[in-house]
Structure 1
Amino acid sequence: MPKLPLLLLCLLAPACLAQKPHPCKSPPLLTGALVVSTQNEKLWVYANYMYDAIGRRIRLKEFGVSDNKTFSLEVLLLFREAAMYTIDTEKRKCTKQPLKADFQPMEIPKDAHLVGQAVLGSSSAPGQGLLVNTWQGELPNNTGSYIGTVTEFGCIPVSSAYHTSSGWMVTSFFNNVIGILDPDQLNPPDFCQQAEEPAADGGEPADFFSLFAKRHRGGPAARLPQPPGANFKK
């Protein structure tokens, strides 16, 4: 009896078709957009982002609605320098303040539990769907739980949902591109060299989204959760 080709054997063997997904790390350089909405804070945000895990830098350009009021905000977070710049490019103004949050890379932690694998779109024909893995786990210090979805190939963030005592927070990612098209955007502009430091108000930036929570609701920054992997590590 002639031997079956190796490829045919793989097609006939279930083990070759189904490989168990594993926790993963997103690419260290990402550019894209995201939408955030919360249950109780009446907050909706659209943001363009640049993410540099190598240099530990993040830039966000946001537009949103908080308590029925619109706002826009552009910030540059430099974790190695423990500094955050709020940038007004049109007026060429800049403020600088301490950033006391730890940088956490986007990743699915090793202790996450696989919820399942699914196809976004359709699996009827090639190119009609996207294979994704959904994971769930607990936030640090028993502060809540999360569900995060990333692509099977590349570990690109797709969505996340967090549940804490404050309610649910949902983030959706799209238009993600691996790499940084303009690395200069991750450095402070020249007009930020003499950036003014605002008067202390008792609050401090805690994570991505508390930045605008403090600015647009008044009072101390709320410690809102971050995108997939950014706040999962214990």
Structure 2
Amino acid sequence: MTTILSVKNLTKQYGAFTAVAGVSFSLAAGRTLAILGPNGAGKSTTLKMIYATTPITNGTVQINSIDVQRQPRAAKQAIGVVMQDDLLATTLTVMENMIAHGILFDIPLRQVKERAHSLLAFVGLTNYENADTTNLSGGMRRRLVLARALINKPRLIILDEPTTGLDIQSRHVFWHQLNVLKQQGVAILLTSHYVDEIEALADNVAIIDHGQIVAAGSTTTLAQQLAAPSLEAAYLRVTHFDERSEQIDQTRHQ
């Protein structure tokens, strides 16, 4: 399989604080890797270094054999990003949002429009091309953000908590579209707090805690490797979650 993403000894420091400490992993075409971890564990910081919005302190990231530090613009051409905040332009229509995003990649206008029509059909928004984004439901907005992220035909899609706040039906629609992309050979890197989402989408999972990968393996076998009854139980074990301590701490703050 062709390696689309290679991350080696990735480190991020803010003064004396180390947010990410020597993280390494790789991702092949048509595969999905999920990063699971507590809030503040370093997940989002890791993603931001990969898509070149946060400087790397140490280590390397290569996307489609392009070094992110040396050629950030070229690397971004191979990436589509779906962040927690959709950042849609509320003064533009659905189609105008697509076109504006395509222009950022220097794609000719005629080509952008053709891709936009095709991608909006892919996510089921053909009938909403001229709609204001403020009139879209939460699920529709997430589908629009996904379509927008595909305008440059990326080899890698990065998703940071992509279905937070969506209802069950909208989540399943979103999952279906991601699985179609996988079948087309797109590599997918995602973070999620939903274990069922990771089990539905990911081939492999890396559990990160305090900036380090503390466990990694196949989504279907990692729990067995850690002698845990489920992936969720394995996650709680390796992140040293103590339910009794959490309950005591909450009681003190009531």
Whose strand fraction is larger, Structure 1's or Structure 2's? 1
How does the TM-score come out when normalised to structure 1? 0.25
Whose helix fraction is larger, Structure 1's or Structure 2's? 2
RCO higher in 1 or 2 (8 Å CA, sep ≥ 6)?
Answer: 2
How does the TM-score come out when normalised to structure 2? 0.24
